[in-house]
Amino acid sequence: MVKKEKNTSRKEKALKTKQNIYLCAEQLFKEHGFYKVSVDAIVEKAGVSKGAFYVHFASKNALIVNLAADYVKHLDLDYQHFFASFSAGAGTSEIIISLAEKIADLIVHDVGYELIKVLYEVQITRTLNADAVMGYQRELYKLFGRILNRGIEREEFRADLDLETTAKHFIMASRGLIYEWCIRYPDFDLKEASEKHYALLLTGIKK
């Protein structure tokens, strides 16, 4: 019984250490940006050893991906509430374009250039698994499928569409636009480009 209590105590202590590192890193990232904050700075602020950091996180980028995954969960809930806010009479094309504009707003003003840059970097180099943020199982991507299905059921979109394939094309369009924003930053209006690009995509699926 004493051994079990000791094991539980160790696990709780480890969890608190991890949470402390996590919160301190998040604060430093907000203050200085991802690239200017080192692991040394994080452990100093958290009051732990560098070894303790690497027990819980393989690298600084791994910690950033964890932060992004948590943030994405909140964003995806926001997108779902946004979709639910439309009236029953709203056109599906209008909803899709509005959603694209909202995604652009959140990427630019909430997520930010530096975090997106890190996420694209780990995806391209495949140094970390970022599927929770950029994989096709994300709730946002499922939401695209639900919205497109709404358009088919209401006979706004062609009935012969393959729903999964079409949803993926809209997702790829979003990723491409965000990538374009990254390479042209800050001289690229992501919201305006998203509205125009999605309007073009929608012409191909409307009845």
79 and 30 housed in the same domain? no
DSSP for 21-78, written as a single string = HHHHHHHHHHHH-TTT--HHHHHHHHT--HHHHHHH-SSHHHHHHHHHHHHHHHHHHH
DSSP secondary structure letter of residue 112? -
| Per-residue confidence (pLDDT) for residue 133, from 0 to 100 | 81
pLDDT for res 130: 83
**Domains held by the chain: number:** 2
92 and 51 belong to one structural domain: no
Residues 135, 48, single domain; the answer is: no
CA end-to-end span of the chain, whole Å? 68
Q: In this structure, how many other beta carbons lie within 10 angstroms of the beta carbon of residue 80?
A: 15
Are residue 140 and residue 179 in the same domain, yes or no? yes
Cite the beta strand spans of the chain per DSSP E. Answer: none
Last residue of a domain, one of 42, 57, 72: 57
pLDDT in tens, the chain (207 residues): 545 555 567 888 889 999 999 999 999 998 998 989 999 999 999 999 999 999 999 999 999 999 988 888 999 999 999 999 999 999 999 999 999 999 999 999 998 999 999 888 888 888 888 888 877 888 999 999 999 999 999 999 999 999 999 999 999 999 999 999 999 999 999 999 999 999 999 999 998
Q: What is the pTM of this model?
A: 0.85
- Predicted pLDDT of residue 134: 79
Both 198 and 120 in one domain: the answer is: yes
**CATH assignment at residue 96:** 1.10.357.10
Q: Do 135 and 49 fall into the same domain?
A: no
32, 73: one domain: no
Per-residue model confidence (pLDDT) at position 166: 95
Domain that holds residue 101: 60-203
State whether 6 and 95 are in the same domain.
Answer: no
Say what the pLDDT of residue 2 is: 47
Same domain, 17 and 100: no
15 and 66 inside one domain: no
